[in-house]
Amino acid sequence: MNLFSRKKGAVKGSADADRDTSHFSLPPPNLLLGISPQATKPNEDVESTLIKRLESNGHGKCDACGVTINGDMRHSLSSRGNWYNVCSMCYYPTHLDKIPFYDEGNIIYFPNMSQARLNAFLRGLWVVQFFANTDPENEEMRDVAETLSDLERTLEHVVKVTVNIAKAPSDTGIYASTLHLLQDHEYAQRHKYFGGFRWLPSKDMYEKEIPFWAQNDYKNLHYEQMASNITKFMKEYTPSFRIKE
C-alpha cells in the first residue's frame, strides 16, 4: 500500500475532518482526541518521505489545516493508514500527553466545528491581533481586532458551557489520563465518547509562531472584507453570535 498517494475523495464523511483538501491529494486526517502510546509511530523511511515532501516546495503546508510550516514546526501524524505532515496545533489534540504541562489549554465541547477549522480560526484571530498591535494607527484593523475580541469571549464561554452544561471537565490532563485508562477496544471506539470535543490551545503557547504565520499566510489580508467573513463564519458555527454594528 502506498501511504503517500491516494485519490481524492477515497475517504469522506468524518465529522472531525476539514473538507478543504485542495492543497493535498490525500483525504484529510482525523484529529480525534488521542494519546501518543496508542498512536502509530513512523519509521525512518516514513519520516524521510514526509520531510522530502515538506521540503519539495520550500515551506510546506500542514496537511490538516493548510497553514505554512517549516521543518521545525512539522510533526508526523498517522490517520486512516496514511501519513501526514501537520502543525503542532493539529498534532497535539491526537497526542494530548505531549502538550507541555505548563500550557495545556482546555478541552471544549464544540461538535459543530472540526478541530482543523477551529485551529485555522484561532490562528487568524491571533494574527489579526498581532497586526493590530504592530500597526496601532490602522483603524480598520483595530476595529476588526475588537470584533475578534468578542469572538474570543465566545470561545471562553464555550469552556464554561463544557463544564456547567455538558458536565464535562475542561482540563486537558484529565482527558489524557482518561484515554490512558481505556482498553484497546474502548480506545478504538473513543469517537463515541469524545467525538464532539476539541482542544482549545493557549495563545501564549504560539507567540513565537504568530509572526511567521502573519508573514507567510496572512500578509495579503483585506481588512474591509474581514468583518463580513467573520460574521458568515460564526453564524454557521455559533448561531447565537452577533457581530457588533
Interval 173-182: pLDDT, tens: 999 999 999 9
Interval 73-87: pLDDT, tens: 999 999 999 999 999
Please report whether residue 80 resides in a domain: no
Structural domain boundaries, residue 117 = 103-237
Q: How many structural domains compose the chain?
A: 1
Please report whether residue 120 resides in a domain: yes
Model pLDDT, residue 242: 44
- Is residue 34 within 8 A of residue 95, CB to CB? The reply is yes
Please report whether residue 145 resides in a domain: yes
Please report whether residue 174 resides in a domain: yes
Please report whether residue 203 resides in a domain: yes
Please report whether residue 75 resides in a domain: no
Q: Which of 2, 59, 31, 73 is nearest to 198 (CA)?
A: 31
Choose the weakest-confidence range: 164-168, 186-190, 195-199, 241-245: 241-245
Q: Tell me, yes or no, if the pTM score tops 0.85.
A: no
Please report whether residue 63 resides in a domain: no
